[in-house]
Amino acid sequence: LAALSLAACGSSTPEPQQLVRVTNDEELAEAGSLVADGGLILIEEGTYHGTLQVSADDVTVRGADRNGVILDGQLEASSGIVGTGERFTVENLTVRGYLQNGVLVTGVTDENGAGIARGPDGYLPDAAPDPVPGYLVQYVTAENNGLYGIYAFNRTDGVIRNNLASGGSDSGIYVGQCASCNALVENNVMQWSAVGLELANASDVTIVGNRIVENRIGITVLSNYLEAHGPTKNTIIAGNVISNNNTAETPEHANGAFGTGIGLAGTVGARVSANRIEGNDNVGISITSSEDFAPVDNAIENNAWGGNGLDVSFTASPSAPGEGTCVLDEGIRTDPEGMGCDPGPGSYVQPAAPEGVSFASVPRPAERPGLDSVDETSRAL
């Protein structure tokens, strides 16, 4: 009995806590193991340099001030905040300078239970695990991260809203590998990344009310074999500003594209409506095949156009020509001309892209003259 009593007294496993306060790097590293299901991790004002990993369910990670709570990876740490539990929320803080992701919400873990997404261990097209439901990322500034600012992978039932994503080496915001994502991407600003917003094998996503400007590519929606659940189906892109995606002081895109508003590659049932698509030097909307995924039943209608090099191009491959795609806006410049429904392939060729820069050297929003402050979207929580 005495031995058992001593063992109990010497136990080093703390009780899960409903409220975990973070004031330094050591507490940041420990917070994910301390928080209980349904708990709150509150990060006080300051600059932190580590990673927060959270596996409990129904957890909220909240910064005390959006601009005053800064997680800075210093180009050394892999990801800033990683959530693997159900119904995970991140809000009201800044993440920057991470080699991979600012915020990663994922349904895939490694043998140690850590959340993963990018690379061969994360792409599991033949044996993808069941998706994890529920996430919310809001009022986050994600800048100068090595792959993605905000990344949702193998997740469903999510909302990404009221964020600023800038300087992403791959994309500012990314949603991938979900057969029916049931995701909403709304009211975000995405600037100065290789791609503002990217969807890959991510079906049932609604993109509405965003400002996607000054990237190399505004939006990419694609299907591929690197992830499970292709092709991407039923994307709604409505009520967004997608303009001036011609910024050379951005990271180079892997496929070499530049000056494109929206790229639809091997997508099925996409609806692009009521957007303002202007000032994209090469093409407003590019519709193509992707490997043997064909563009099928996509519709372009009721958009406002102006100042694009070409408004819409259709370049499906002979091996995956697709069917049912309709461009219904009138008075726009298309290739092939007078596109209508079920066009044949045009002859448009993407011009060579200018040389890019490292994600680490992209000017931060606060360093750009004339950019509105994000103070007004910081929450007093």
Token couple for 278 = 């202007």
* Residue 254: predicted pLDDT: 76
* Closest by CA position to 218, among listed 159, 164, 162, 284: 284
Model confidence at 7: pLDDT above 90: no
pLDDT band at 221 (very low <50, low <70, confident <90, very high): very high
Model confidence at 381: pLDDT above 50: no
Model confidence at 380: pLDDT above 70: no
Question: What phi and psi values does residue 209 have, to the nearest 5 degrees?
Answer: 70, 25
Exposed e or buried b per residue across 326-353, where buried means at least 16 C-beta atoms within 10 angstroms of its C-beta: ebebeebebbbeebeeebebbebebeeb
**Cβ-based neighbours of 15, under 8 Å, separated by 6 or more:** none
* Residue 120: predicted pLDDT: 52
Token couple for 319 = 């091996």
* Residue 375: predicted pLDDT: 44
* Residue 12: predicted pLDDT: 66
Average pLDDT of the chain, as a whole number: 92
**Cβ-based neighbours of 174, under 8 Å, separated by 6 or more:** 148, 150, 151, 152, 153, 197, 198, 199, 200
**How far is the C-alpha of 256 from the C-alpha of 350, rounded, in Å?**
9
Token couple for 345 = 């392939």
SS3 289: coil
Q: Which residue has the tokens 């990404």?
A: 160
* Residue 2: predicted pLDDT: 45
* Residue 370: predicted pLDDT: 57
* Omega cis (within 30) before 231: yes
* Residue 367: predicted pLDDT: 81
pTM: 0.93
pLDDT band at 200 (very low <50, low <70, confident <90, very high): very high
